Amino acid sequence: MIGIGCTFEHRVSFLYGWRTRFGNNCIVDAYAQFKCPTSFEQTKRHNIEIGNNVFIGRGTIIDSNFSVRIGNNTFIAPTCFITDTNHNFEFPNLPIREQGGRYEPVDIGEDVWIGTHTVIVAGVSIGNGSIVAANSTVTRDVPHGVIVGGSPARFLKYRPGFER
C-alpha cells in the first residue's frame, strides 16, 4: 500500500511488496530495497510499516520477516541496513545455516535521523527525536531524544531540548 504523494526514484525494488505499507509524502531514493520474503507475524498485514513524510536514502535495505515500523518524519540516510531477523547459533555441532532464525520487531520512532551506513539489528527500538551517527551499529534500544554512535552504538549526548 502506498500513500498519497509518495515518490520512488529509479531501481527501487520490492520482494513481496504487498507486505510493505507507506504513509503519505514519503520519498524513497534510488536502489533502495524492501524485502519481506516470509511473514512470521500472522496478525499483521504488513511486515514493514512506514509513516508519513519519511525519507529513505539511496541503497538502503529493509529486510523484514516479522515487523519493522518507521515513524513519521524520519530521515534514513543512504546505504543503511535494517533487519528484524537474526540467526540462531546455540548448537556448535550443527551448522549455523541449519539452526533457523529468530525474529524480533524493530521500532524506529518519529522525527529520527539515521546516519549513513548504519546497521539496525533485530529487537531494537529507537526513541522519538533521536539521532544515530553515521557508521553505527544499533544493537540495543535507544531512548527518546539522544544522540548515539559507534559500533556498537552508545550514548553520546542528549539532543538539544531533550536534556534530562
> Identity (one letter) of the amino acid at 102?
R
What is the number of other CB atoms lying within 10 angstroms of the CB of residue 23? 20
Query: Is residue 129 within 8 Å of residue 115, measured between CB atoms?
Result: no
Query: Is residue 56 within 8 Å of residue 27, measured between CB atoms?
Result: yes
> Looking at 10, 46, 87, 144, which residue is catalytic?
87
Report how far Cα 139 is from the mean position of its chain's Cα atoms: 12
Residues 6+ away with beta carbon under 8 Å from 29: 9, 55, 56, 57, 58, 59, 60, 78
Catalytic: 117?
Answer: no
CA distance 107 to 36: 16
Residues 6+ away with beta carbon under 8 Å from 95: none
User: Which residues are catalytic, by number?
Assistant: 87
